Amino acid sequence: MAKVLVVGGAGYIGSHVVKELMRSGHEVTVFDNLSTGQEINLFQENRFIRGDIRNQEEIAAAMRGQDAVVHLAAKKAVGESMENPMKYSDNNINGSLNILNAMVEAGTKYIVFSSSAAVYGMPEKEEVDEDCPIAPINYYGFTKAEIEKFMGWYDRLKGLKYVALRYFNAVGYDADGDIRGREVNPQNLLPIIMEVAEGKRDKLKIFGSDYPTRDGTCIRDYIHVSDLATAHVLAIEKLMSGMPSQALNLGTGSGTSVKEMLTAAEQALGKKIPAEYAPRRPGDPAVLIASAAKARELLGWEATYGKDERGMVSIIRTML
């Protein structure tokens, strides 16, 4: 049993991580400023501190007595990061440095960090392993890559041990319905498809139909959020039993195209969802699939949802 501070624990991925940590018997404190995190996501059993990582004193006070940190507090809209990099510098970079400094001060040795496939930019290989060059093409991805480097230095200089989990495309919700918050104003494919299905939007715009893929639309590796969550628990436990610092991809290892996702949603919902082709969106690689071999080997982790189109149907059912 470890005392774990989950920073950003009221958010979409954070709330799922909290659930899995509790299931594994860990003692969780959630630290969140509720800017995008939601009170409805908090489990009564947990201690909750409303605070902001940009405030060094608040995070330092919360850190005292903790064995480990899961850090998921970040701004994550790619487009916004290009228009307002200052917000991303302040929250993602300065906030993360405050967390690392608070860890050194409190003697907290272990951190699991939410990183992203965005650190790879436009990778040359379709199946991306952790040795692919770190070459972000947006400021959001840059902040994630930098924080990984800071953690590397804090390991060398202060003995802090980290796992950077590079998420591919996170989707779905807790299948037991324990996590009730839904993302407000979603920016990603699947929640947008759901909003079209509910009539909140007119049509899905499929960005690009002439990519060099099996049906001309972009392929991504969609990973269920509960699978992401279990990897955090394993990462903490492995770090605490001596695993050295690592960066690990989290994906299923297989890809789904935009059109296949639309078909899966139509199957799961039993109705036609209006869609039209639109121009390519700048900065979208044609194919982005994780090699998750390293996470499998080092954590003994494997995705349980979503290895094919039928798997996507079961993922979409967790969102209903």
Cβ 27 to ligand UFG shortest distance, Å? 30
Annotated catalytic residue 154: no
d(CA 276, CA 262) in angstroms, rounded, equals 11
Q: Sign (positive/negative) of CA torsion 210, 214, 215, 221?
A: negative
SS3 288: strand
| Binding residue (CB under 6 A) for ligand UFG from 168, 173, 301, 305 | 168
Closer CB to ligand UFG, residue 142 or residue 154? 142
Per-residue b or e along 51-77, where b marks 16 or more CB atoms closer than 10 Å to that residue's CB? bbbeebebbbebbeebbbbbbbbbbbb
Cβ within 8 Å of residue 311, ≥6 positions away: 252, 305
Region of 13-21, 202-210, 226-234, 294-302 interacting with ligand UFG (CB under 6 A): 202-210
Region of 20-28, 176-184, 204-212, 236-244 interacting with ligand UFG (CB under 6 A): 204-212
| Binding residue (CB under 6 A) for ligand UFG from 78, 97, 132, 293 | 78
10 close to 36: Cβ distance less than 8 angstroms: no
| Binding residue (CB under 6 A) for ligand UFG from 10, 218, 235, 315 | 218
| Binding residue (CB under 6 A) for ligand UFG from 4, 288, 303, 315 | 288
Angle formed by the axes of helices 309-317 and 189-197, to 10°?
60
**Which positions are annotated as active-site residues?**
140
Residues contributing to the site for ligand UFG (CB under 6 A): 76, 78, 116-118, 168-169, 188-189, 192, 204-207, 218, 220, 258, 281, 284, 288
